[in-house]
């Protein structure tokens, strides 16, 4: 295993009487893009600022390539190896070019090289033509591009980003994420990014860490975290809207039958009968069909008949809540919704595969 570029040990932050961060160990590995996710107020930004040496934790230490950072002089030297991009572009009141060269000057790079690097990165983010313009005249998207160019021109060993795309409109955001993803692939710069956008995490992350109430609840590969959350909090945050308590009532050849509110659900799991579990099911894994159609067309193992109790459109999709003895949420396309002509009170069959279910055993 590669030695961590950064490692936080026994990190703790107390603000007033509130413990906002309590993390025994946290590692940033070389070349990875580590995305820290979590709901608002979970301590994501606090953790990022502590790692970037911009906030002093109440307790704990930070090691850089295994060496503990001890004094202010070492912190300054280390900060000069990092770069940070915030949610707001935070450009200074000068030209775009001077904004990008400022950090380079502070790090002792001579003017000619600073200008060359700045122009190169402004070019890579498609805003070289704006170099001599006042930073105050840029649009939101241009300003955030300038902010990213400013950070990457520093050639940081670790790039920290605090929800850098959150303030942008959807098309600008998508374009910038695509550009940034390409640049991450090309530069392989070690990146720690905070977001609460699941799509951003899935697009950019090599590893995902989920922080809830200041505690690191899960860290792992994106598909592991999204498909196999370790607890209900993580499940809820990574988009598992169906989180149901149940008990394994039978086990047969790797298929566990779970009883949830008198309904039987089959799941791929080795858990023995009698295990108390939380059933996790992504709403997009649930398909809906009219009762007559379902039996002949679906290959899914689980079919639950229920009544539509709520219909809620979300953009191009529609969120349907079905009462199957317990509320089950399905996410279907608007087109499917219109074709089926779903209305509240209608009977419907909800189907899902045994492999779509993830069971969290209760300890």
Partner 1 sequence: MDLIVEGIIQAFVLLVHGDPEVMRVAALSLGISLAATVISLFIGVTLGTAIGLTRFYGRRFLVSLINTGMGAPPVVVGLIVTIMLWRNGPLGVLHILYTPYAMVIAQCVISLPIITGFTMASIQQVNPKLRLQILALGASHGQLLWLLLRETRLPLLSAVMAGFGAIISEVGASMMVGGNITGQTRVLTTAIVMETGKGDFGLAFALSLILMALVYLVNLVLTLIQQRSRPR
Question: Which residues would be at the binding site for partner 1 (CB under 8 A)?
Answer: 49, 52, 54, 76, 79-80, 82-84, 86, 88, 90, 92-95, 102-103, 106-107, 132-134, 136-137, 150, 154, 160
Taking the least distance from each CB to partner 1, the nearer of 85 and 288 is: 85
In the bound complex, what is the minimum distance in angstroms from residue 111's beta carbon to partner 1?
Answer: 16
- Compare residues 49 and 240 and give the one whose CB is closer to partner 1: 49
| Eight-class DSSP state of 267 | E
For partner 1, the closer CB: 141 or 156: 156
Q: Cβ of residue 192: shortest distance to partner 1, in angstroms?
A: 13
CA 265: distance to chain centroid?
29
- Give the separation between CA 343 and CA 347, rounded to whole angstroms: 9
- What's the min distance (Å) between Cβ of 132 and partner 1? 8
Least distance (Å) between residue 102 CB and partner 1: 6
Return the number of the residue (130 or 201) whose C-beta is nearest partner 1: 130
Q: How far is CA 293 from CA 230, 298, 300, in A?
A: 36, 9, 13
In this complex, which beta carbon is closest to partner 1, that of residue 120 or of residue 231? 120
How far apart, in whole angstroms, are the C-alpha atoms of residue 193 and residue 160? 6
| Residue burial 77-93, b: 16+ Cβ < 10 Å; e: rest | ebbeebbbbbbebebee
In angstroms, the CA 345 to CA 324 distance is 12
Least distance from C-beta 148 to partner 1, angstroms? 13
Q: How far is CA 109 from CA 32, 72, 98, 146, 326, in A?
A: 27, 22, 13, 19, 63
């Amino acid at each position: 295993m590669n030695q961590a570029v950064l490692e936080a040990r026994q990190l703790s932050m107390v603000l007033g009487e509130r413990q906002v961060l309590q993390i025994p160990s946290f590692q940033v590995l070389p070349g990875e893009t580590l995305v820290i996710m979590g709901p608002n107020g979970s301590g994501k930004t606090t953790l990022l600022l502590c790692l970037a040496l911009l906030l002093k934790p109440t307790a704990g230490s930070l090691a850089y390539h295994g060496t503990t950072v001890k004094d202010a002089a070492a912190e300054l030297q280390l900060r000069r190896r990092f770069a940070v991009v915030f949610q707001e572009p935070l450009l200074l009141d000068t030209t775009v070019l001077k904004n990008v060269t400022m950090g380079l000057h502070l790090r002792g790079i001579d003017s000619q090289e600073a200008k060359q690097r700045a122009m190169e990165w402004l070019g890579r983010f498609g805003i070289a033509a704006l170099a001599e313009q006042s930073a105050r005249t840029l649009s939101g998207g241009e300003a955030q591009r300038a902010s990213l160019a400013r950070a990457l021109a520093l050639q940081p060993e670790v790039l920290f980003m605090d929800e850098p795309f959150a303030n942008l409109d959807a098309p600008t955001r998508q374009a910038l994420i695509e550009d940034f993803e390409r640049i991450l692939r090309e530069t392989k710069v070690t990146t720690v990014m905070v977001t609460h956008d699941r799509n951003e995490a899935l697009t950019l992350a090599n590893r995902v860490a989920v922080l809830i109430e200041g505690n690191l609840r899960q860290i792992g590969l994106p598909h592991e975290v999204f498909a196999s959350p370790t607890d209900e909090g993580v499940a809820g945050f990574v988009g598992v809207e169906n989180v149901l308590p149940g008990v394994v009532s039978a086990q047969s050849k790797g298929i566990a039958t779970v009883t949830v509110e008198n309904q039987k659900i089959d799941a791929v799991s080795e858990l023995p009968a009698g295990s108390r579990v939380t059933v996790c099911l992504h709403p997009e894994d649930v398909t809906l069909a009219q009762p007559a159609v379902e039996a002949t067309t679906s290959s899914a193992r689980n079919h639950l008949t229920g009544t539509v109790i709520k219909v809620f459109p979300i953009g191009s999709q529609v969120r349907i809540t079905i009462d199957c003895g317990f509320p089950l949420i399905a996410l279907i396309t608007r087109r499917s919704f219109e074709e089926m002509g779903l209305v509240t009170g209608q009977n419907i069959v909800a189907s899902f595969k045994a492999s779509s279910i993830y069971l969290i055993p209760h300890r």
